[in-house]
Amino acid sequence: MTTPKIGIFFYSTYGTNYEVALEAKKAAEAAGAEVRLRRFAETAPAEVVNGQDAWKAQLEKVQDIPEISHDDMIWADGYFFAFPTRYGSAPSQVRSFIDTLGPIWQEGKLVNKVASASTSAMNTHGGQETTLIGFYTSLMHWGTIIATPAYTDPVLFEAGGNPYGFSTNAGSFDDKGRAAVAHQLKRLVEVTAKIAA
């Protein structure tokens, strides 16, 4: 069986999606994947980031993790994205990178990649589902194969019940959430291995 290459790509303002990404990395490796952990570049003005202690501390915490590049997108057979919602959509830090992918998309280098995503918001109805659905729309333009967790395991119901991808309230990543992320990554690795074979 082919060893799938999985890119774990995250943006985290205060730490929730960083924790999700670390759990995703652990789960993907446990499922037999080769993994790259990458972060989206911080594009907010320094004075805004430095004006919030928690935001500044989170950015400092991830400085040793490389920023995502086009090479990472080409290298990976499958992608797992973790980021917070911003007004029901992906944050600008994520979108600004996605919007640079035109050249490699036009060369067909993103076709048949497998992808899954997760998100967080300040509250349950803060745009969690629309964020994932909207993000997947962009990926469909590339010819990406979307591998949501759906309701393929009872843990999805216990951890919020979002069939599009794990989602949680900011600051609320608990053991049920970890189990849901682990299941989502196991499914992503399995589907990716089949496509990459």
Q: What is the pLDDT of residues 94-117, one digit of tens each?
A: 999 999 999 999 999 999 999 999
Gap between the Cα atoms of 71 and 58, Å rounded: 25
Do 117 and 80 contact (CB within 8 A), yes or no?
yes
CA angle 99, 104, 109 (to 5 degrees): 125
DSSP letter for 44, please. Answer: S
Gap between the Cα atoms of 8 and 3, Å rounded: 16
The answer to pTM > 0.85 is yes
* Ramachandran sector of residue 113 (left: φ over 0; alpha: ψ -120 to 50; beta: rest): beta
Q: What is the pLDDT of residues 121-163, one digit of tens each?
A: 988 888 899 999 999 999 999 999 999 999 999 998 888 778 9
Q: Which domains does the chain have, with CATH numbers?
A: 5-196 (3.40.50.360)
